[in-house]
Structure 1
Amino acid sequence: MAAVGFCGDWFIFTCDKKLVAVHTKQSRDPFVFDCSTAERKPRSTQDNNHSDGGASEETGSDRVLAFAVSPSGKLLALTDDTKRLVLFNCEPSWQCISVRWVVRRCTSLVFSHAEDELLVADKSGDVYSFSVVESQREGELKMGHLSMLLAVTMSPDDRYIITADRDEKIRVSHLRSPYNIQSFCLGHQQFVSALLVPAQSHCLLSGSGDGTVKLWEYESGRRLQSWDLRELEDPPSSEPDKEKKPTVSHISTSPDGCHVAVQCEKVSAVQFFTLMQDSEKRLVPHSRLSLPHCPLDMTFDPVGRLWVLMDSDDAPLQVYTYTQSSWESDAPSPEFNTVTEAFRPHWETLDATTRTSSSSEHLYKTSFDNVAVYLQRKQQRLEEQQVKRTRTQESNNRRKKKKMSGGRAPSST
């Protein structure tokens, strides 16, 4: 997994098995956490549950799967392929608070806004709650879906857990009693891959494998807007490409909640929207930023600039600033140079297959037209039977002619 984020003034990026933090304001040594050398699960507490379909703990790859930053930017949590859940304190200096273990490999994590709880969603469809205050306590099962969870977030007042799964569902559940479902946000035609509650807002943004971004009033489940990203391309998609639906891989908002950036897999562009938070909340398309390479991840920094990580060896990082109603590439700044200098040695250790290993193609469901297959096979059987009957009839006719010819009396002279 190659991903980026900000934890206060620390620029965060993950490269395969490592998490690296670089301070953008002060001359401080980068913090590096390598999962391959981290604490391993004691044998006495190892479980034998391999129902997640993956390898056991001993054969995990230690690759970072997901990370989350707390609202204050003082805490960070990550989870890896060996089922670790690692909690860090970022300020005043980096410190590993705890290493705990999850039951199955995780797909998404989120801190509560009170920063006393960490919610972890996994590939089996379960959400576990881990205490931040009691940092050694094991996780507790909070709720579950019937299919793989792909995203989890929370409402700003910590009242609701919002989860999204492979079966196109978004569920809004009460945090303190998750069996009590507040609403469902239904309307996506493919797996829901991204969720975000914008800053200073009580609405929900979602992205999907169906190539749309939707705006919801999540308490009621009412859909406010839906945008097909293909229709916003300039020029629009050509006829052969119309069936190719871009998969929304990430949605991010600026600190003030006004600017929304949407990233899609294998699309060399970022679609920007403006979130209008007046009496009627609206998501208004703003502009489309073309990129020199496909983006792998993106994040806004504390002052509202967009940092984009791209699949490129020459220039993997680029910063964009909103000026005069458009997003423009920044000239290299001292802080950008500091980040790039610390970033590049780790980036160079990754090959292209590792950088792009987060493809979601396997999440699409394949549909089968059973009726058409049945009719085709039925027609084939009828044709075979007709050929067989024809051959049998021809054979019978030949035998009758031969019998009649052999049994005729000789003529008299």
Structure 2
Amino acid sequence: MAAVCFCGDWFVLSCDTKLVAVDSRQSREPFVFDCSTAERKTKSTKDDDNSDGAAEETGSDKVLAFTVSPSGKLVALTDDNKRLVLFQREPSWRCVSIRCVVRRCTSLMFSHAEKELLAADKSGDVYSFSVEEPQKEGELKMGHLSMLLAVTTSPDDRYIITADRDEKIRVSHLRCPYNIQSFCLGHQQFVSALLVPAGHPHLLLSGSGDGTVKLWEYESGQKLQSWDLRALEETLSPEADEQKKPSVCRITSSPDARHVAVQCERESWVQFFTVDREAGEKLVPHSRLSLPHCALDVTFDPEGRLWVLMDSSDAPLQVYKHTGGSWESDADSPELSRVTEALRLHWETLQASTRTNSRFEHLYKVSFDNVTAYLQKKQQRLEEQQLKRTKTHETNGNKRAKTSATGCQTSA
């Protein structure tokens, strides 16, 4: 998985087995953490009790997810070997702890108070890991009946919001998650992205494999709006499949709360929205940025510029700034040059991480229409029976005609 984020002025890139942090403002040595050379952790007795006697799996050391704390002082990642690694950025980058998770994680999130780290896994569970006690084992918070794909919290840390493969968004009380506040229901496929947009603490944005972005008042579970991303395209490319829905994989907002960027998997565009207060906090489509290559991930920097990681060997990283009502390339940015130069040694690793299958392709639900197949077979049987009757009728008719002709000849 290739992903990007800003941690203060540091540009953080996750690719294959590495986490690379580059200071975009100063020329200094990047921080690099490679999971393939990191400390191996043994599973605790508690974890062994939950393994149902299964043999210990050997992972690939690939980074599955990473997240940055709201203050930008902490970073955490989890890998395919079921390790949870916590980093501290100030006063200098260092690895604080390496702990084990019970199952492979799909999403990470720091609480806004930065006292705990929430890890959602593929079995549908959420574990809470202490930040203040970095060696303490995780505690089970809550569980879904299907794979979790995204987790976030309300700005006041009152609610934990989780999204799963079965189209559900659950809003639970963080301190007692068995107490469910509401459900946000309406997506037709898996929910893959969640965001409480900056400046709008009571609203929730969600993205799904059904190709829509929805706006919710999450405390009540009320759906306020829904936008079909395919319908917002001015023109479809000749090779585009009109039936295929784009899978939303990232929703992020700018620090000044002016822009919301929506990125879809294997698409070469980014859709921008604004949450308009004057219109009653409506989600309004703003513009669509066309990219030269498919986007792998997007993030805003502290100045509100959009950094796009693309599937390209020539120029995998680009920066765009909002000027005159549209988004324009900022190719001359000194920060871009500094980060690109520092990451040049890791381009091969980045390219290896892009040669992976779709993260969402296996999550789509497949419907089986048995009725249509039955009706087709029934129609085929009826046609065969009708053809058989017709042939039998023609054969009998020929026999009668032949018998009549023979009788006439005998009489003569």
State the TM-score, normalizing by the size of structure 1: 0.88
Aligned to 2:213: 213
Checking the alignment, whether the CA contact within 8 Å between 1:174 and 1:180 is kept in structure 2 is: yes
Q: How does 1:134-283 map to 2 (within 5 A)?
A: 134-201=133-200, 202-236=202-236, 241-278=241-278, 280-283=280-283
Aligned to 2:297: 297
Residues 1:3 and 1:358: Cα distance change in structure 2 (over 3 Å): farther
Q: State how far apart, in whole Å, the 1-side matches of 2:27 and 2:11 are.
A: 13
Question: What letter matches 1:47 in structure 2?
Answer: D
Question: What letter matches 1:181 in structure 2?
Answer: I
Offset of residue 373 of structure 1? 3.0
Offset of residue 218 of structure 1? 0.3
Question: What letter matches 1:164 in structure 2?
Answer: A
Aligned to 2:321: 321
Aligned to 2:81: 82
Query: For 2:48, what is the secondary structure of its paired residue?
Result: coil
Q: State how far apart, in whole Å, the 2-side matches of 1:341 and 1:227 are.
A: 39
Offset of residue 375 of structure 1? 4.0
Aligned to 1:403: none
Question: What letter matches 1:91 in structure 2?
Answer: E
Q: State how far apart, in whole Å, the 2-side matches of 1:386 and 1:127 are.
A: 61
Aligned to 2:364: 364
Aligned to 2:286: 286
Checking the alignment, whether the CA contact within 8 Å between 1:2 and 1:355 is kept in structure 2 is: no
Q: State how far apart, in whole Å, the 2-side matches of 1:258 and 1:293 are.
A: 26
Q: Identity over aligned residues, as a percent?
A: 77
Query: For 1:344, what is the secondary structure of its paired residue?
Result: helix
Query: For 1:249, what is the secondary structure of its paired residue?
Result: strand
State the TM-score, normalizing by the size of structure 2: 0.88
Residues 1:89 and 1:239: Cα distance change in structure 2 (over 3 Å): closer
Q: Please say which of residues 192-201 and 277-286 is displaced more in the overlay.
A: 277-286
RMSD of aligned alpha carbons: 2.6
Question: What letter matches 2:131 in structure 1?
Answer: V
Question: What letter matches 1:292 in structure 2?
Answer: P
Checking the alignment, whether the CA contact within 8 Å between 1:15 and 1:347 is kept in structure 2 is: no
Q: Deviations over 1:128-177 (max 9, x none)?
A: 11111111111111111111100000000000000001111101000011
Aligned to 1:338: 338
Question: What letter matches 1:363 in structure 2?
Answer: L
Q: State how far apart, in whole Å, the 1-side matches of 2:113 and 2:317 are.
A: 32
Offset of residue 344 of structure 1? 1.9
Q: Deviations over 1:312-353 (max 9, x none)?
A: 000000000011111110032222111101112212234467
Offset of residue 357 of structure 1? 3.5
Checking the alignment, whether the CA contact within 8 Å between 1:57 and 1:83 is kept in structure 2 is: no
Question: What letter matches 2:263 in structure 1?
Answer: Q
Q: Deviations over 1:21-49 (max 9, x none)?
A: 00111222100000011111226757386
Checking the alignment, whether the CA contact within 8 Å between 2:16 and 2:349 is kept in structure 1 is: no
Residues 1:306 and 1:79: Cα distance change in structure 2 (over 3 Å): same
Q: State how far apart, in whole Å, the 1-side matches of 2:43 and 2:163 are.
A: 34
Q: State how far apart, in whole Å, the 2-side matches of 1:27 and 1:311 are.
A: 26
Query: For 1:98, what is the secondary structure of its paired residue?
Result: strand
Checking the alignment, whether the CA contact within 8 Å between 2:313 and 2:351 is kept in structure 1 is: no
Checking the alignment, whether the CA contact within 8 Å between 2:173 and 2:180 is kept in structure 1 is: yes
**Gapped runs of 5+ residues in structure 1?**
393-413
Offset of residue 234 of structure 1? 1.6
Q: State how far apart, in whole Å, the 1-side matches of 2:291 and 2:39 are.
A: 39
Offset of residue 257 of structure 1? 1.5
Q: State how far apart, in whole Å, the 1-side matches of 2:103 and 2:128 are.
A: 14
Q: State how far apart, in whole Å, the 2-side matches of 1:283 and 1:356 are.
A: 33
**Gapped runs of 5+ residues in structure 2?**
393-412
Q: Deviations over 1:92-150 (max 9, x none)?
A: 10111110011111110100000001111011111111111111111111111111100
Question: What letter matches 1:233 in structure 2?
Answer: E
Offset of residue 291 of structure 1? 0.3
Offset of residue 354 of structure 1? 3.7
Residues 1:169 and 1:237: Cα distance change in structure 2 (over 3 Å): farther
Q: State how far apart, in whole Å, the 2-side matches of 1:238 and 1:226 are.
A: 26
Q: Deviations over 1:384-403 (max 9, x none)?
A: 899999999xxxxxxxxxxx
Q: State how far apart, in whole Å, the 2-side matches of 1:56 and 1:314 are.
A: 43
Q: Please say which of residues 231-240 and 23-32 is displaced more in the overlay.
A: 231-240
Aligned to 2:126: 127
